[in-house]
Amino acid sequence: MFEFKKSEAWRLECEARELLSWSLQKRRKQLALVWEKRGAEGAIKLQDEITRLWKIQKNQQTKQDDLFMKNQ
């Protein structure tokens, strides 16, 4: 059971990373399809994971920008 949960979390993260690389319009279409196939819970989990990864990327970019500004 533990392995399933770990692999499911990894699948979700990989799917979210892929969708995060798509345009917002394509991402929204895909989330609508996920809603149809997996229901609200599946779509919300995926959206939450996309948001989590986006925040991490944004935070990393902010840190890089701050470092760049300090070095100038």
Domain ranges of the chain: 40-72
Summarize pLDDT for 4-55 with one digit per residue, the tens.
667 989 999 999 999 999 999 999 999 999 999 999 999 999 999 999 999 9
Question: pLDDT at residue 64 above 70?
Answer: no
User: Distance between CA atoms of 15 and 22, rounded to whole angstroms?
Assistant: 11
Between the CA of residue 6 and those of 10, 19, 55, 69, what are the distances in Å?
6, 20, 22, 39
Position 65 scores a pLDDT of 62
pTM of the predicted structure, to 2 decimals: 0.77
**Confidence class for position 59, pLDDT limits 50, 70, 90:** confident
